[in-house]
Amino acid sequence: MATPADKAKETSKAHTWRRFKDGEHKWRRWNDQIFTADETDKCPTYVHKTPPCQASCPSGEDIRGWLNIVRGIEKAPKDVKWQEYAFRRSTDANPFPSMMGRVCPAPCQTGCNRNVVEDYVGINAVEQFIGDYALANNLKFQAGPETGKKVAIIGGGPAGLSAAYQLRRKGHAVTLFDDHDELGGMAKYGVPGYRLPRESLNGEMNRIVDMGVTVKLKTRVGVDVKLDELEKSHDAVLFAIGCKAGRILPIEGGNAPNSVSGVAFLEAFNQGRLKTVSGRVVVVGGGDTSIDVASVARRLGYIKEMKETERPEYIVLGQTAHDVAATARKEGAEVLLISRQPLDKMNAAKHEIDDAQREGIKIMGSLQPVKVILDSSGRAKALRVIELDYSSGKPVEKPGSEKDLDLDLLVSAIGQAGNFEGLDGFDNGKGLINADKFYQVPGKKGYFVCGDIIRPHLLTTVIGQGSIAAESIDHYLKNEDMAKRPKVDVHHFNLLDKLKETGLTPKDFKPSDYKPTTDEGPRPIDQGLRGTTEQGKAVGGYAVHNYEDRADAEVVHSEELFLGHFPYVERIKRTEKVPDANEVLGHFEERMIGLDEKQTVEEAKRCMSCGMCFECDNCVIYCPQTAVKRTPKTESTMGRYVYTDYDLCIGCHICADVCPTGYIKMGMGDH
């Protein structure tokens, strides 16, 4: 087995980049000559791009930004601790860092360019630390100045709460309606507490409510309150109702009394009603919900001498309640999870699948349910399945491969739909609501929609939708045209905002005030109207020196980085308390133990700051003409650390070659 030292050598060898081999002295291509000595017409430009972690984040967090704050590259304002500054940057996009750090499947980590070196940056781990710090130190959100506009949000899950948070920041009044006893939606009623501690979830939800959100619980819009009443009393209405109606198996016998949906199963458990299951549980799915169902079933266990009225399906349907005293006699349940996809193609996160198998859950892939076998009383006693062959690229049933899987409880986690009781005219025929790219409901002026009711997806996805929906509502309330969404639609670092924060705001430039001559004589044409040159800023302080922001249109890929700069560094992993098959019964402790402060900072340092300078000094050190210089400390800030003296630059492009982050590009320019 390769040791970390062996892996480090391999990484160093793979990422040591040389343009030429020893002994080469001739140009291989004519156009290469453009990039040599003083014959070149290319000089460095500092180009800000979006890193792939942010581009992969459905809620659009400025991940690179808060990682650079944690590692100490971007400094917090005076009298603000870095932990709070990182929290503020993170929550510009997503107000749930403690929750996301625990349960998000982290597409950002999949996209991380550090994977090309050795392993992704533990973004979730750093985010959990930020979120837990904010809760422990009672950090609050601030609402914006009141606008007098009122928005009704239907649904108090992550999507609705995300929208409420962003709308309150803009100063709009928000009334949030939910038909449950508590806020939280699928985060509260769909995610088990051992994955998402309720103290953390409730703390982050309460912080949003404390911004001045009016909450009306146990209130179903369309039944307890009519939709037209909301329309009259509010300036806009946002649907964030989620998909709480699970789908049963659409096969013969699928509606057996002991066949329930995964959504209903998890809600009954999270409400504290479901305390035990049956001896043999078969879960059909393949996504994260099916994993949660199977994992909960293993933890709950079953009772041999179960009364008829205590069968789990009656509890899930809300018809009876469990005898708490009887649950002390529980034994481990046999839990089988089957999926139409092969195991390596299942939608659930790989580490969740691995954890489930460790807990004693048997998982079988490439199986298609074809029929539910009923006993004489009409209850399901087995699920008949057939094997699928994917060798042709498409699933094909294998003749003669049918088999029956014995069961006492069948749970279907194959999809969800919305509940449209009292909401006539909004169901698109698929149990969902249509939306345009601005999250407006087509043909319904003043109505907006976000979350799973558009298309069930990740928690981070619906949080991002809530943020964009709030932005669209803000434009609508101001009678503004909907702003064109950027190609890379995430929260970006903004250099102008950073300059304002640090007291370095460029002056407003008016062409009418431009003087082509000074006391010293004629001003060079590139010093003024073109805004370049002295000491990292334009003459007169009108502009930002040789900086170009392409973040809303371009993502920086690993091929643009100088990977040889980055040594092999093991990822600092969180401790996970995943019980084995013998420990899982009754194990409801939190699984994810976070990093401490020192570990968090060290892990953040593994971030390669793709697309943004992190002040390594390579360009300054290796420039043979000393043309690349550090911006004076009095004028320097994040994103403005170096500048180029074009009178000295010969366009050798060494600075671009040794830039680890892809921040320096060779652009056209007369020097």
pLDDT digit string, tens, across residues 51-91: 999 999 999 999 999 999 999 999 999 999 999 999 999 99
Which tokens is 639 given?
């994103």
- Residue 415: the pLDDT is 87
Confidence of residue 147 (pLDDT cuts 50, 70, 90): very high
Lowest-confidence segment of 34-43, 323-332, 574-583 by average pLDDT: 34-43
| pLDDT over threshold 70, residue 7 | no
| pLDDT over threshold 90, residue 3 | no
- Tell me the residue length of the chain: 671
- Residue 38: the pLDDT is 46
Distance of CA 494 to the CA centre of its chain: 20
Confidence of residue 536 (pLDDT cuts 50, 70, 90): very low
Lowest-confidence segment of 38-47, 100-109, 588-597 by average pLDDT: 38-47
- Residue 321: the pLDDT is 62
Confidence of residue 545 (pLDDT cuts 50, 70, 90): low
> Which H or E run includes 284?
strand 280-285
- Residue 385: the pLDDT is 98
Query: Are the folds of 150-244+418-477 and 246-416 the same?
Result: yes
Give the class (CATH, top level) of 150-244+418-477. Answer: alpha beta
pLDDT digit string, tens, across residues 397-453: 999 999 999 999 999 999 889 999 999 999 999 999 999 999 999 999 999 999 999
User: Which letter does DSSP use for residue 513 in this model?
Assistant: G
Question: Hunting for tokens 């998402």 — which residue is that?
Answer: 196
Higher pLDDT, 174 or 496: 174
**b/e per residue 274-306 (b: at least 16 CB within 10 A):** bbbbbbbbbbbbbbbbbbbbbbbbbbbbbbeeb
Q: Which residue, 547, 607, 575, 541, is CA-closest to 115?
A: 607
Mean of the pLDDT values across residues 560-566? 94
- Residue 658: the pLDDT is 94
CA pair distance 131, 186, nearest whole angstrom:
20
pLDDT digit string, tens, across residues 358-388: 999 999 999 999 999 999 999 999 999 999 9
DSSP, collapsed to helix, strand or coil, labels residue 641 as coil
- Residues 6 or more apart from 603 whose CB is under 8 A from it? 121, 122, 125, 126, 571, 572, 595
> By the 8 A CB rule, do 458 and 104 touch?
yes
- Residue 352: the pLDDT is 92
The domain segmentation of the chain, as residue ranges, is 27-50+493-566+610-668, 61-139+568-598, 150-244+418-477, 246-416
- Residue 349: the pLDDT is 87
| pLDDT over threshold 90, residue 28 | no
CA pair distance 641, 658, nearest whole angstrom:
16
- Residue 526: the pLDDT is 44
- Residue 507: the pLDDT is 75
| pLDDT over threshold 90, residue 557 | yes
CA pair distance 643, 258, nearest whole angstrom:
70
Higher pLDDT, 304 or 357: 357
Residues of the chain with pLDDT > 70: what percent? 86
Lowest-confidence segment of 66-80, 282-296, 418-432, 509-523 by average pLDDT: 509-523
- Residue 520: the pLDDT is 59
Alpha carbons within 13 angstroms on the beta-carbon side of residue 295 total: 28
pLDDT digit string, tens, across residues 152-210: 999 999 999 999 999 999 999 999 999 999 999 999 999 999 999 999 999 999 999 99
Which tokens is 176 given?
């949030």
CA pair distance 87, 94, nearest whole angstrom:
10
CA pair distance 158, 452, nearest whole angstrom:
10
- Residue 667: the pLDDT is 79
| pLDDT over threshold 70, residue 325 | no
Question: Hunting for tokens 């809303």 — which residue is that?
Answer: 552
| pLDDT over threshold 90, residue 509 | no
- Residue 525: the pLDDT is 45
Higher pLDDT, 322 or 84: 84
Which string of DSSP letters, residue by residue, matches 607-625? ---TTS-----HHHHH-TT
Residue 45 CB neighbour total at 10 angstroms: 17
Lowest-confidence segment of 160-174, 284-298, 488-502, 515-529 by average pLDDT: 515-529
- Residue 650: the pLDDT is 86
Which string of DSSP letters, residue by residue, matches 317-381? TTS----GGGGGG-BPPEEEEEESS-GGG-SS-HHHHHHHHHTT-EEE-SEEEEEEEE-TTS-EE
| Reported pTM | 0.89
> By the 8 A CB rule, do 36 and 95 touch?
no
- Residues 6 or more apart from 404 whose CB is under 8 A from it? 373, 382, 383, 384, 385
Residue 79 CB neighbour total at 10 angstroms: 5
DSSP, collapsed to helix, strand or coil, labels residue 300 as helix
Terminal-to-terminal C-alpha distance of the chain: 54
Average pLDDT of the residues of the chain: 89
Question: Hunting for tokens 């009781």 — which residue is that?
Answer: 421
DSSP, collapsed to helix, strand or coil, labels residue 99 as helix
- Residue 244: the pLDDT is 87
Write the CATH number of the domain with boundaries 246-416: 3.50.50.60
- Residue 539: the pLDDT is 43
Confidence of residue 490 (pLDDT cuts 50, 70, 90): very high
- Residue 43: the pLDDT is 85
Mean of the pLDDT values across residues 338-347? 94
- Residue 656: the pLDDT is 92
Write the CATH number of the domain with boundaries 27-50+493-566+610-668: 3.30.70.20
| pLDDT over threshold 90, residue 533 | no
- Residue 361: the pLDDT is 97
- Residue 301: the pLDDT is 93
φ, ψ for residue 415, nearest 5 deg: 155, 165
- Residue 355: the pLDDT is 94
- Residue 534: the pLDDT is 47
- Residue 535: the pLDDT is 44
- Residue 537: the pLDDT is 44
pLDDT digit string, tens, across residues 33-61: 544 444 456 789 999 999 999 999 999 99
CA pair distance 576, 590, nearest whole angstrom:
9
